[in-house]
Amino acid sequence: MQSANVLLKKIVRSSVLPFAAQHGMKKDLFPLSRTLSLSLCLKQDNSCSPSEKIDLDAWKKVMKSGLQEVSETASERKELSTLAAAREILEMWRLAGRSVPENISEEQLKTFMECPSKSAKKKYLKYLHLKELYKKNDKRKMVERRERRLETQEQASNTDETKRNSFICLWASCMDRAYGWRVAQSMIFGQPLVFDMSYEKDMSVREVANTVRQLVLSEGCNRRSVDPFHIHFCNFKDDSLYHKEFMKHYREAWGKLLITVTDQCYTDVFPKDKLIYLTADSPKVMKTFDHNKIYIVGSMVDRSIKTGVSLARAKRLGLETAALPLEKYLLWNTGAKNLTLDQMMHILLTLKDTGDWKAALEFVPKRKYYGFVSKPVHELKKTLNLINTLKLGKRQEEVRKQFAKNYSKKLTQK
Amino acid sequence: IQPPEKPLQAEEWNRLRESFRSPEIFEEVMFNNMVRCNSPIDVAKSLLTHVAKSNGDIAYNLLVKYLALCVQQGQTSEIRDVYDIMKIRFKTLESGAYNLVIRGLSNSDQWRMALTLLEEVKKIMVPSRTNYESCIKAASRHQEMNLAFELYHEMLAKDLVPTFDVLQAFFDFSRGMKGAELQKELFGILLYLRENQIYPHKTFMRSIKLWFESIPGGNWRGHLTSIKDSGQCPVCNHQLEDSDLTEEEYNNLSERIIRDVIHGTDTFRKTSPQEFEAFQMFVENRLPFDIVIDGLNVSHIKPRKMQCENLFDAVNCLAKDNARLLVLGRKHMLINSSNWKREIMKEMQNKADFFFAENISEDDAFLLYATLRSGKHCKFVTRDFLRDHKACLSDSLTRHLFRKWQRGHQISKKMFLSVFIQQPAFRYDCVVQTTGDTWHIPYKDIFEEKYSYQVPRKWLCIQQK
């Protein structure tokens, strides 16, 4: 069988020699029979071997030959389990060029099958696909970096290298210890910052994972700051999804973190009149950072924008609320006004150290705003003037006034 | 790149491929362009042959693209060939290939093959609605109405929404056919349109009309018309159903509004329990109102005027016939400012009841509650489409009820007119409706842009002589 197929392939390949094409006759010579037997196929190929035409259906033969075994094994297979069937469909999608991950774990496959709709499935697969791509890229980059490092190492002398390495190690552990001291100090004397961990019900699994990731980042940048906050995780349940995700990130370090984790509500831990709930929906805008207050940040990622959820929490408990003065300092472009938790952390830390809103709001993602308010007005005026002198001539003064008026109106409205 | 017009030799393909800037995807790009330009099938075949000979194999995505070209040109035998090849080569196919094969075969004389393929698809996934569409159209084209309806019901059972094309096909191909069963099924489709508040477009409407008129011995006559504001059909003088909800629907809707819109996941998101209770007390003590006004919304009607002046005009205009008014606002309206003059506010409060919510509460929810609580005669005034509140409702049935109720009870104003023109609430219900010997079917012009809150103004009136 095997040898026959090889022979067939060879014949097919050699039979059609490139010649000046004469079309239209191939159908008469090659009947479109789908039940070609092997021998018939050979015979036909021989009969018209030095043909001048392109054999347009030759590909069918190639595809059918050599596949007999495959089809046999396929028919031998028993009924597939649903998981295996799903895996096969995924494989076909991948072949068809859809964004589907190459490797998929059993657990992911189950999540995939539990997706409620076709579009949910598509989305999940795309997410996995992108994740896989990123991972691959990272791996490739790491290998490249290692190679480059090896090269440089070869150039440098060996003794030098070890010295520097040990120095780096020493430096790193020293820094760690210093950071630890600072955070420990902040746990006694520092200003508390509360993360409200009561939003698990409002989030999907992926959103919780994102939240925890952001919290880990926030904790990291707090630890490295000059004057850290004393972080409180309030309303934290031990069997929660939050906890599970934290364990994934911190593992055994979770127990050694210099933060306060409690299942109590912040209202039980702190006096109510000192608490301020930070939420983008708040009607009140924060003017200055108060060192005697305790700020609360809701640990929630809401991809499906859920307005007023955290405001409702604060209202229920009768707490004061505040929003960052984004409109006042930034000329907003696009995007929601809710920031990620690590951005909030950066902003609050900067405010605490300097009280400078401009420096603090540098941590708002650049894509979300055009610029700081003072700058763009100035620049916009310049361009406007230019346009006006080109276009309108005399009326420029008037237009400029109009613009200034509108702009100030816009500011007061918001 | 432009696909060639004639089949090429292997060498020529090679040359083309070399000249292409990224040779790895040359075949894919070439096939895409062939599909776009509807190239002759022989050209595609010659490329496939070239690929097969140089690689000994053809990738799945190329086969699918070739299949798309065959389907586009209706090459039935080729479609079957490709399908057979795919079948031996791969254990299962994915939905894209199945879609193409089913579509291709259903348009040919081998349409029964498409049905068997549909069965095959069912084994591995839920077929798409276009799969069903192809099969149903094929079956009805060949006058197998029973089979077509069987597939149609199967599709509905799977929560797939049939396309207009499918529904229209039923009417087109049953024209002139006799049979009580068939008639019942087609009436069923019309009732499906009614239940889901779907409006057929013009050509679909014409199919419906022609089918009615073709029923042997039915004596049906159809006329195109538009319904008067009173809700009377000018052709047959029949009074259309009014837009009032039934008692049960009404109670259901008010319950849902309180549960889903006002309370939702958390009462504090839109108001607070204390405030809502206070509002309930307030409303219960003063019931019933005739018109409930969204004060803030109305106050923005003419941007040049002072806000409280706008509201004042509206209240004066609506207070004429001794109607009991309720104006909903927020507390900040009570503070004397450039937009809200205390004297005018005082004067208004003599003419209407006012309820001021907290500044961070949502007054729309109160508007809905007060109107529903006052009873069926009560109307409300706002320019808001209340889409966000409709979206809070949990199921589509209640959402339809909400839309219907809204159409019947919302008064909105046209802007920028010196005279306070009211756009009257609809008095009749705009859905497919029947009395047995008449049918009234609203339809939309196919090119007419229709928003979901708009209802068509054109009707098909069908009556039995």
Q: What is the CATH number of the domain that holds A298?
A: 3.40.1280.30
Q: How far is A137 from chain B (nearest CA, A)?
A: 20
Cross-chain residue pair A32–B11, CB shorter than 8 Å: no
Cross-chain residue pair A95–B84, CB shorter than 8 Å: no
Nearest CA-CA partner of A12 in A53, A65, A74, A52: A65
**CA distance linking residue A287 with residue A320, whole number of Å:** 14
The confidence score (pLDDT) of residue A28 equals 43
When scoring B15, B66, B94 by the number of chain A Cβ atoms within 10 A, the one with the most, hence best to mutate, is B94
Cross-chain residue pair B48–A59, CB shorter than 8 Å: yes
Nearest-by-CA chain A residue for B55: A62
Report which residue type is found at A307.
T
Cross-chain residue pair B49–A18, CB shorter than 8 Å: no
Q: Is the Cβ of B125 closer than 8 Å to some Cβ of chain A?
A: yes
The domain total for chain A is 3
CA dihedral B291→B297→B299→B303, nearest 10 degrees, is -140
Q: How far is B152 from chain A (nearest CA, A)?
A: 21
Cross-chain residue pair A21–B6, CB shorter than 8 Å: yes
**Domain ranges, ordered by start, for chain B:** 163-241+426-464, 247-421
**Across the interface, which of B266, B272, B359 has its CB nearest the CB of A283?**
B359
Q: Which two tokens stand for residue B244?
A: 């009032």
Beta bridge partners of B422: B413
- Show the CA angle centred on residue B10, arms to residues B8 and B14, nearest 5°: 100
The confidence score (pLDDT) of residue A194 equals 94
User: Residues A322, A274: one domain?
Assistant: yes
- Confidence band (pLDDT; 50, 70, 90) for A265? very high
A366 within a domain of the structure (yes/no): yes
User: Residues A252, A123: one domain?
Assistant: no
Cross-chain residue pair B89–A63, CB shorter than 8 Å: yes
Residues in chain B, pLDDT under 70? 413-425, 446-450, 452-453
Q: Can you tell me the mean pLDDT for A327-331? A: 85
User: Residues A359, A232: one domain?
Assistant: yes
A41 within a domain of the structure (yes/no): no
User: Residues A198, A306: one domain?
Assistant: yes
User: Residues A145, A215: one domain?
Assistant: no
Chain A neighbors of B90, CB-CB under 8 A? 92, 95
Chain A neighbors of B16, CB-CB under 8 A? none
Q: Which two tokens stand for residue B208?
A: 């419906």
Question: pLDDT per residue over B347-359, tens digit each?
Answer: 888 888 999 998 8
Q: Is the Cβ of A366 closer than 8 Å to some Cβ of chain B?
A: no
The confidence score (pLDDT) of residue B346 equals 87
Question: pLDDT per residue over B231-260, tens digit each?
Answer: 888 888 888 888 788 888 888 898 888 888
What is the CATH number assigned to the segment(s) B163-241+426-464? Answer: 1.25.40.10
Output the pTM of the full model.
0.75
Which range has the worst mean pLDDT, A67-76, A234-243, A331-340, B199-208? A67-76
Q: Can you tell me the mean pLDDT for A239-260? A: 90
Q: At a CB cut-off of 8 Å and minimum separation 6, what does B439 contact?
A: B190, B212, B432, B433, B460, B461, B462, B463
User: Residues A348, A382: one domain?
Assistant: no
Is the CB of residue A246 less than 8 Å from the CB of residue A207? no
Cross-chain residue pair B53–A18, CB shorter than 8 Å: no
Burial class (CB in 10 A: 0-12, 13-18, 19+), A77: exposed
**Across the interface, which of A54, A202, A315 has its CB nearest the CB of B272?**
A315
**CA distance linking residue A136 with residue A352, whole number of Å:** 40
**Across the interface, which of A9, A85, A92 has its CB nearest the CB of B93?**
A92
Q: How far is B153 from chain A (nearest CA, A)?
A: 21
Nearest CA-CA partner of B136 in B128, B145, B148: B148
**Across the interface, which of A57, A89, A95 has its CB nearest the CB of B59?**
A95
More confident position, B265 or A265:
A265
Q: At a CB cut-off of 8 Å and minimum separation 6, what does A133 contact?
A: none
The confidence score (pLDDT) of residue B453 equals 66
Is the CB of residue B463 less than 8 Å from the CB of residue B227? no
**CA distance linking residue A276 with residue A295, whole number of Å:** 5
Is the CB of residue B223 less than 8 Å from the CB of residue B461? yes
Before A271, cis peptide (omega within 30)? no
**CA distance linking residue B93 with residue B91, whole number of Å:** 7
CA R_g for chain B: 31
User: Residues A237, A315: one domain?
Assistant: yes
**Across the interface, which of B10, B124, B268 has its CB nearest the CB of A85?**
B124
Is B163-241+426-464's fold the same as B247-421's?
Answer: no
Nearest CA-CA partner of B98 in B72, B125, B74: B125
Q: Is the Cβ of A93 closer than 8 Å to some Cβ of chain B?
A: yes
Q: Is the Cβ of A55 closer than 8 Å to some Cβ of chain B?
A: yes
Nearest CA-CA partner of B259 in B357, B394, B391: B394
- Looking only at the bridges linking them, the beta strands covering B410-413 and B422-423 are antiparallel
Chain A neighbors of B126, CB-CB under 8 A? 118
What is the H or E stretch that residue A124 is in? helix A118-155
The confidence score (pLDDT) of residue A40 equals 40
A26 within a domain of the structure (yes/no): no
Residue A130 has pLDDT above 90, yes or no: yes
Is the CB of residue B159 less than 8 Å from the CB of residue B396? no
The confidence score (pLDDT) of residue A236 equals 92
Q: Is the Cβ of A92 closer than 8 Å to some Cβ of chain B?
A: yes
- Show the CA angle centred on residue B145, arms to residues B142 and B150, nearest 5°: 125
Residue B164, Cβ neighbours under 10 Å: how many?
Answer: 16
Euclidean distance between the first and the last CA atom of chain B, given in angstroms as a whole number? 63
Q: Which two tokens stand for residue A374?
A: 């003072």
The confidence score (pLDDT) of residue A160 equals 56
What is the CATH number assigned to the segment(s) B247-421? Answer: 3.40.50.11980
Q: Which two tokens stand for residue A319?
A: 């707490």
**Number of CB pairs, chain A paired with chain B, less than 8 A apart:** 119
User: Residues A208, A288: one domain?
Assistant: yes
**Across the interface, which of B49, B56, B268 has its CB nearest the CB of A312?**
B268
A310 within a domain of the structure (yes/no): yes
Q: Is the Cβ of A32 closer than 8 Å to some Cβ of chain B?
A: yes
Determine the 3-state secondary structure of B20 from DSSP.
coil
What is the H or E stretch that residue A77 is in? none
The confidence score (pLDDT) of residue A22 equals 42
Residue A104 sits in which domain range?
96-158
Burial class (CB in 10 A: 0-12, 13-18, 19+), B65: buried
Q: Can you tell me the mean pLDDT for A163-191? A: 84
More confident position, B179 or A42:
B179
**CA distance linking residue B26 with residue B15, whole number of Å:** 11
Is the CB of residue B254 less than 8 Å from the CB of residue B372? yes
